[in-house]
Amino acid sequence: MRWLLLLSELNPIAKQCGDLLEVAGQTVIYNYHQGKSSVQDIKDKITNEKPDRIIVIINDTNSSILVNTISDHLLIPLYVAQATINSYSPIPVLVLTCTTNDNNLNIIQNATDQLLNIHPNIVNARLLTPISNDNINEKYFQTLWESNPDEYHYITILSDILPILLALIHDGKVNGHIDVCNKGKISLKDFEKNNSNELKSQTNISQIIETEDITDKFEKWTKQMISPETRQLYQASFILPNVLKSIEQIIQEESITIDANASKILLVTGGCGFIGSTFINYWLETYPNDHIINIDRLDPVANTKNILQPNSPNYSFIVADIGNKDIVLHLCRQYNITHIAHFAIQAHIDSSFGNSITFTESNVYGTHSVLEASRIYGKIQKFIHISTDEVYGETPAGSNQEFCLLNPLNPYAATVAAAEFLVKSYGESFKLPYCIIRLCNVYGPRQHIEKVIPTFITNVLQGEKLKIHDDGKQIRHYLYVDDVINAVDIILNKGKPKMIYNIGTSNELNVLDIAKYILEKLHSNQQLDDITSYVKARSFTEKRYCTTTSGLIKSLGWKEQVTFDQGLEKTIQWLKSNPDYWTK
């Protein structure tokens, strides 16, 4: 969808709305009216931009110039109402205002409320003391309530409430005026006790009862007027979040946040595999003050030679199975682990059909073992879980975003999906700060020759035929490994906890395309038909996977750097220089 944000100037509410929309893959257009728009100006803007939804964000302060105040708080919302209601299909509009102690401003806002109520396409939401996560601290609350620390107040924690409001206006099933805040009330004294761990996490029942009249309508909307798909898209809570519990969780998350420049001690699982070893090599070179502890049981697709600096004083290697929770816990305690990057996974799809139980043992039980060790240890600052786009299942058309339902169609993908649910459950139940990264097909140097790109390159170099399953028209997306590691770096250092990140690419190729690319790169005079051997299709093969790159990772600064042509060239040159890498 296209969202038009109308505002006089950028403020924290507008910024959070824009960020949330971009994370959800929406197109955001900002328009700064500066209190000088007319109905025709807004109509022209709607005609040109063609928005599906509009958000009007009204300043929470009173201008020293009365005309500007009336324009921002009264005229602009009414102009938008008039400009949108006359269309054949009225555009859903969200008007966001804030509570104020200014009597003159209250008079204007009340007039606005009355006039907007006649428009069926508008949700007029008044935020009761909106507060961003950055302002949840004693100093800020003192500036609000120091004169009466025992008085209870309604507050709106923006990170809790804005996703709900965006989901409501996305579905467009509600309209009218509504007061918005978290469940429960809080005083300065309560906050000070909560901050010093003197107050239990349960909210005083009387305070919940007092707010029922305020939050009943909003809570009803929250539960009944948002579709499951939209709720997942915006990560909108089903239950209206309780103010004290939210504050407690935010403070807890802040307490484990450390300086990004401080040294880290990372436990890397599966660090001798293709992606895990590339991560270790990159990290040792990029962050010389950090330490890496690599645990790997050395399956056939792993290789200790993948580690370029095995004698580094900042690197330790332990041959062990992550399924042994006690070993993982011992390593966490012995090395004072701060972060975990969980790459250990069985990923050979052919094997998952013939010996699928081992995939459950490695991918599900192994992940659960690492999670349980993390829970007991209790000091993990971020848990990075590497997953796959195959959890979405086949994608005949379009592409998958993070909110799409999972539909794994082979045993390998099913075990990876199960592991994801375990990670999420530990995040909810035990407050483990996790990030899940779903990757498309990754390729590059040191990848095991079981995978299609190194297999085909090796076959052509050795004069062997290319074995192609079925018709070779299975479509996948291929991303060079260095771009993947760059994304993991950004998410580990800057990623928000409890988020899922798709890392995709525009390189959509089928198996025959890859074979042609490799023949061209190697300047082979042979025709594709002369060197291919078509064999029986796998027990089950999805025709196409396609994933949309996360809007959130883009907002953190990631973008694909290596084209498929460049990445393939690098991979070919490495295989030419290391022809016996996997045979000796």
CA 525 to chain centre: 46
Residue 411, CA distances (Å) to 348, 563, 578 in order: 10, 31, 33
Distance between CA atoms of 59 and 8, rounded to whole angstroms? 7
Q: Where do the domains of the chain lie, and which CATH numbers do they carry?
A: 2-255 (3.40.50.720), 265-577 (3.40.50.720)
* Amino acid symbol at 330: H
* pLDDT for the residue numbered 472: 80
pLDDT for 229-277, tens place per residue? 888 788 888 888 888 888 887 777 666 555 556 799 999 999 999 999 9
Q: How confident is the model at residue 208 (pLDDT cuts 50, 70, 90)?
A: very low
Give the neighbor-by-neighbor strand order of the sheet with 291-296.
315-319, 291-296, 265-269, 339-342, 382-388, 434-439, 499-503
For residue 112, the model assigns a pLDDT of 76
Q: Which residue has the higher pLDDT, 12 or 164?
A: 164
Tell me the per-residue pLDDT of 267-314, one tens digit each, with 9 for 90 and over.
999 999 999 999 999 999 999 999 999 999 999 899 999 999 999 999
CA distance 472 to 514: 10
Q: What's the rounded mean pLDDT across residues 195-209?
A: 48
DSSP state of 336: T
Q: Are 308 and 445 in contact (CB under 8 A)?
A: no
Q: What is the pLDDT of residue 348?
A: 64
- pLDDT given at position 568: 95
CB 347 within 8 A of CB 391: no
Contacts of 454 (CB under 8 A, 6+ apart): 443, 447, 448, 571, 575
Please identify every residue annotated as catalytic: 389-390, 412
Instruction: Classify strands 291-296 and 93-98 as parallel, antiparallel or unpaired.
Output: unpaired
| pLDDT band per the 50, 70, 90 thresholds, residue 209 | very low
Q: What percent of the chain has pLDDT over 90?
A: 39
As a whole number of angstroms, the distance between CA 169 and CA 465 comes to 57
Q: Tokens 């946040």 sit at which residue?
A: 257
Scanning the structure block, which residue is given the tokens 């009336």?
70
> Is pLDDT above 60 for 63?
no
pTM summary value = 0.72
Cα–Cα distance between 513 and 507 in angstroms, integer? 11
Does pLDDT of 101 surpass 70?
A: no
HSE (CB half, 13 Å, CA atoms) of 374? 32
